[in-house]
Structure 1
Amino acid sequence: MSDESHEPVKRLFFALNCAAQQRRAIAQWRGALQLRSGRPVPAENFHLTLKFLGAVGVAQIADICTAAAKVRVPGVALRVVLDRVDVWRKHGVLVLASEQAPPELLRLVYALEQAMLPFGFEDSPKEFRPHLTLMRDYRLPVPESATAPEFILRAEHFTLFESHKGRYRALAEWPLMP
């Protein structure tokens, strides 16, 4: 058996990307909150995580992409309403969350999880909660907002991203409509 501990790895995750115009609107709304805690997530990194993979050997990426390409997609563009501000204390993050996750989104996440099972990613089975992270290291209560959040994230594809030195880079993407 070969020693794979020296194999190069990348930190990967599947996500729905956020359109540039939407990123600006969310960043502007966040700015109006005048937050005094935490580190703002750069607007260009705004996304909705579908499945976090973590450290993945570079040699596995092609197989992961092949598996992702076989995922049964919803067949429609996804529309996720981000209409709640929440603090996840355990993770120290301020998030925009969805009061009601669309069933197509939940089916896509489940299909992705199933497709990734053969790769043996360590994942504690936890309930999927659609969210967009606004701040990290956030330690205050949920901030008051003059205008309630109501952002509609529209996605026509899902993307495999690499996280590298605080920047996210798209490695591959797949359409949600056949």
Structure 2
Amino acid sequence: MNNEPQSRLFFALGCPSALRKTISQWRSSLGLRTGRPVPTANFHLTLLFLGAVNTARIADICTVASNVKTPGKRITLALDRLEVWRKSKVLVLMPDDAPAELMRFAYALEQAMLPFVHNPEQKEFRPHLTLSRDYLSQVPEAGSPPEFFLRADRFALYESHKGQYRMIAEWPLVESES
């Protein structure tokens, strides 16, 4: 048994506050009667979930993350599909068609982080924003279809603790012009 202090970590694209508010209002219009709504402040698009990691390794993780090849441009992602993932019991917003640069970047990040993951699950990366957990119903009827655009020029490492997310570090997806 490992007695080292642990942190639950994940990499994500943040969701700007105006977009979080718009998505939250749209979610409210769905009239959900099941599940636990994800707090609006926690909306994000996970790139890679690391899970429990020794706190002493965070600096190494940050160093490796800073050297991952980025797309070199802002990522724009349409969140235009509402789905229920039965196995995970979540209601999610996801892209009908994920941008290739996002998929390549998520894969590069996953490969770079292999030394820090104890039990790497062979899960296919499916970009999504979780709206509700413990969701046990069908896809709700939406009065208006989801048409949200997440535009990201940075990615970040977050710590999850008791339902709260704290950003540990962030990096640009686009190199700044000197």
* TM-score in terms of structure 2 length: 0.96
1:25-174 counterparts in 2 under 5 A? 25-174=22-171
Which deviations, in whole Å up to 9, do the C-alpha atoms of 1:34-71 show, x marking residues without a partner? 00000000000000000000001011000000000000
Q: Identify which range, 138-147 or 114-123, moves more after superposition.
A: 114-123
Structure 1: gaps spanning 5 or more residues: none
- What letter matches 1:23 in structure 2? R
- Pairwise CA distance, 1:24: 0.2
Moved over 6 A (4+): none
1:15-34 counterparts in 2 under 5 A? 15-34=12-31
Any conservation in 1 of the 2:35–2:134 contact (CA below 8 Å)?
yes
- What letter matches 1:95 in structure 2? V
Q: Aligned to 1:135, what secondary structure does the other structure show?
A: strand
Structure 2: gaps spanning 5 or more residues: none
**How far apart are the structure 2 equivalents of 1:30 and 1:176?**
29
**How far apart are the structure 2 equivalents of 1:133 and 1:8?**
28
Number of aligned residue pairs: give it: 175
**How far apart are the structure 2 equivalents of 1:106 and 1:26?**
23
CA RMSD across the alignment: 0.9
Question: Cα distance 1:109–1:121, how it changes in 2: closer, same or farther (>3 A)?
Answer: farther
* TM-score in terms of structure 1 length: 0.96
- Pairwise CA distance, 1:11: 0.3
Partner of 1:10: 7
- Pairwise CA distance, 1:6: 1.3
**How far apart are the structure 2 equivalents of 1:6 and 1:125?**
27
- What letter matches 1:142 in structure 2? V
**How far apart are the structure 1 equivalents of 2:138 and 2:2?**
42
